[in-house]
Amino acid sequence: MQPDTANINISDSALIQQCQAGDSAALERLITKYKDRLYNAVLRICGNKEDAAELTQDAFVRIIENLHRFQGRSSFYTWAFRIAVNLTLNFCRRRVRIETGSLDAELGGDSEQAKTALRNYLADSTVRDPVEIAQNKEQVDLIVRAINNLDTDHKAIIVLRDIEGMDYAQIARILDVELGTVKSRLARARANLRANLEAIL
Amino acid sequence: MDDKKKLDELLNAYIDGQLNQRRQTEVKRLLQHDPEIAARLTELEKIRSLVAAVPVAEAPTGLVEDIKAKLERRSLVGSDSEDFDEHEGARQLFWRRAISVAAIVALAVVLAGVVFTIVGPESVDDRQVVSENWMNNEIPTPNSVQAFRERIALHTSPEKPQRADANVASSETGRATAALQEPTLPERFSGRLELNTALFTGVDAFVKHALVDNGIMLIELPVAETEKGVYNLRCSRTTASVFIADLATIWDKFDSVTLRVKTGEPGKDVVVANVTAKQINEIIAEADIGKSIELARNTAALNAMTINLPGTALAMDTEVNLLPIPKPVLTSGDTAPKTQDKVDETEMVNLVIQIKNTR
């Protein structure tokens, strides 16, 4: 079977070829291109900045060490995320329990004003645009806290779908699960997230 | 309840644009006629929008340099890269086929050994030679047929070595001599742990991490066993105990776990079915190999008796979930990073971990 070249982002493809040829500058460009997205996804799943930094480093090391195996059958982005997300999930499953207390301590979001604004947003069936919420750090912290309180698998699927905007098929490939599992897990994750938010508010 | 779940899945797929045209039309019709469903859709949209509103966190400065430094360190150490390619499924299929072929060849070699024993010129217990291969985790391969013949030739050689040297694993002479001896207890604990799971990929990745984290040395596997999910460990009993304690945290991901303890007698390995992490550590922790084997036999009998009793599953769950195996704690104030232990041979264990995909 021929690789699905249509899946390869051209600039990624060129970068990867240069990296495979030993071009260290290309390697640096590849890391720079994806570091924020990978770090953000890892952070939202593991919920801890230090762990996220370490896991992102490890993920890139594995990506680079296995770059010669990448043949473009899926997009580089999906392949790289698969490595990073699975690394993070394994780490989180090994960790006895995320210390949500310390995570909460890092976050703000305890002001009554922020809670009221979010309550109103959730209760008002006419308001749909959360732009104002996104600009308020305390309200964002409340949302992050609700995400942190999800199960690891639910966090991962929320991050891949709602932060990374991946389609269900991509998520299924990354998490190595059936499409039906993606649908049911995402539905449960969003329902639990709402419950978490209501509990916090 | 089930309908509500199905409806949620449908609505989520709708807002995510993952439905085909026909299903989208159906949902739109539902929304027009049922205000409750329309309200639920708004709730779900809001949750999705809230998550999407969380700003992207930027990677810490210096991340690129840290990655480069880590890569340099790894290249200096010469660490093996872990396998993360797209052909995992195809490769597993290839290895399954290769293993099948190897198993047929192995069977042929064993049969040849049996025939040779019966009709051969000497009454050497060839089965012991074959069994010893297994003890050293070598499943006979086509190449090993010649090696097998050479070993038999050594048996008939007038200059037989005088002493078996189990420590010289690669020594053909030592092995042949050992095969001539009466069955004796292995020098150290040696066994095989079979982890049957439907979550092969996740369990395999976990095991790899646990091995690395515990600084466990892996011995190169023979060709026939270089499939994914088979690891040949050599480490101290303490390190093995910590590794098993790590495994205990995912014990509920295994369909079943079987421990095979080698006794030094061909075909008489002790098979402990449905073994728990705690039982494994108790067996490994015994002061000498004889006691380990005895405890393994008792545990095997106990498990066989209790497996069908009511409440067994509950008892096993309880053991894993409520009584976690405490990890050994360093009491000397030594906080040095984990490295391969330097201990005497009797403190070492050989353990083959085999993860079997039951899916």
Reported as a single tens digit per residue, the pLDDT across B145-193 is 344 334 434 443 333 333 333 333 333 334 433 334 444 677 788 899 9
Give A74→chain B minimum CA distance, Å. Answer: 8
Token duo for residue A151: 């199960």
Residue pair B136/B123 in contact by the 8 Å Cβ criterion: no
- What is the average per-residue pLDDT within B92-112? 76
Please answer yes or no on whether B47 and A194 come within 8 Å at the CB atom.
Answer: yes
Residues 6+ apart with CB under 8 A from A119: A201
Across the strands, what pairs with A27?
none
- pLDDT: which is higher, A105 or B129: A105
B309 pLDDT above the threshold of 80: no
Dist. CA A174–CA A78, nearest whole Å: 7
Q: How many CB atoms lie within 10 A of CB A81?
A: 28
- B65 CB neighbours in chain A (<8 A) are none
- Kindly state whether residue B223 falls inside one of the protein's structural domains: yes
Indicate the average pLDDT of chain B: 70
A70-128 per-position pLDDT tens digit: 877 778 889 999 999 999 998 888 775 444 444 444 555 567 888 888 888 888 766 66
| B209 domain-assigned | yes
Tell me the per-residue pLDDT of A147-161, one tens digit each, with 9 for 90 and over: 999 999 999 999 999
Number of domains in chain B: 3
B208 and B337 share one domain:
yes
Query: Does residue B254 share a domain with residue B111?
Result: no
Rounded distance between C-alpha atoms, residue A179 and residue A188, angstroms: 14
Q: How large is the angle between the packed helices A49-65 and B63-77, nearest 10 degrees?
A: 50
Sign of CA dihedral B17, B21, B23, B25: positive
- Decide: B139 and B102 in contact? Cβ < 8 Å: yes
Out of A64, A96, A176, the one facing B71 most closely (by C-beta) is A64
Q: Where are the alpha helices (DSSP H) in B16-166?
A: 21-33, 35-53, 63-77, 88-119, 126-135, 142-156
Question: Quick one: how far is CA B103 from the chain centroid?
Answer: 19
pLDDT digits (tens, 9 = 90+) for B322-339: 334 444 444 444 444 444
Q: Which of B231, B157, B164 is nearest to B193 (CA)?
A: B231
Tokens of A31: 């890391």
Whether residue A41 is predicted with pLDDT greater than 90 in this model: the reply is yes
Q: What is the pLDDT of residue A117?
A: 83
CA distance B20 to B112: 61
- pLDDT at residue B89 tops 80: no
Same domain, B335 and B199: yes
* pLDDT mean across residues, chain A: 84
Residue B155 lies in a domain: yes
Which range of B48-52, B69-73, B96-100, B218-222 scores highest in mean pLDDT? It is: B48-52
Q: Is the dihedral of CA A9, A15, A17, A20 positive or negative?
A: negative
What residues in A contact B60, CB-CB < 8 Å? 39, 49, 53
Percent of chain B with pLDDT over 90: 18
CATH architecture of A97-201: Orthogonal Bundle (1.10)
In percent, the amount of chain B with pLDDT more than 70 equals 60
Longest CA pairwise span in chain B (Å): 96
β-pairing, B254-261 with B270-272? antiparallel
CB A142 within 8 A of CB A200: yes
Q: Looking at the domain assignment, is residue B151 inside a domain?
A: yes
Domain shared by B211 and B310, yes or no: yes
The fold of A1-96 is Rna Polymerase Sigma Factor; Chain: A (1.10.1740)
Instruction: Show which of residues 13-72 on chain B sit within 8 Å of chain A, judged by CB atoms.
Output: 13, 16, 18, 39, 42-60, 63-64, 66-68, 70-71
Handedness of CA B312, B315, B317, B320 (dihedral sign): negative
Query: pLDDT tens for residues B225-261?
Result: 556 788 888 887 778 888 888 888 888 888 899 999 9
Same domain, B195 and B94: no
Chain B partners within 8 Å of A118 (Cβ): 50
CB-CB: which of B18, B82, B85 is closest to A70? B85
Q: Are B171 and B200 contained in the same domain?
A: no
Chain B residues with CB-CB distance to A177 below 8 A: none
How confident is the model at residue A153, as a pLDDT? 93
Q: Rounded to 5 degrees, what are φ and ψ at B194?
A: -105, 115
Domain residues of chain A, as ranges? Answer: 1-96, 97-201
Lowest mean pLDDT across B9-23, B106-120, B159-173 = B159-173
Q: Are residues B232 and B325 in the same domain?
A: yes
pLDDT at B323: 38
Asked if B147 contacts B223 with a C-beta cutoff of 8 angstroms, the reply is no
Task: For residue B16, tell me if it sits in a domain.
Answer: yes
**Same domain as B126, residue B43:** no
Instruction: Give me the DSSP letters along A27-88.
Output: HHHHHHHHHHHHHHHHHHHH--HHHHHHHHHHHHHHHHHTGGG--SSS-HHHHHHHHHHHHH
Task: Identify the closest residue of chain A to B60 by CA–CA distance.
Answer: A53
Those residues whose C-beta lies under 8 Å from the C-beta of residue A38, and which sit 6 or more positions away, are A56, A59, A60, A80, A81, A84, B59
Q: What local confidence, expressed as pLDDT, does residue B358 receive?
A: 85
| pLDDT tens, residue by residue, A165-183 | 999 999 998 998 899 999 9
Residues B194 and B173 in one domain: no
Residues of B in contact with A61 (CB under 8 A): 67, 70-71, 74
- What is the domain range of residue B22? 2-53
Residues 190-229, chain B, touching A (beta carbon < 8 A): 201-202, 205-206, 209-210
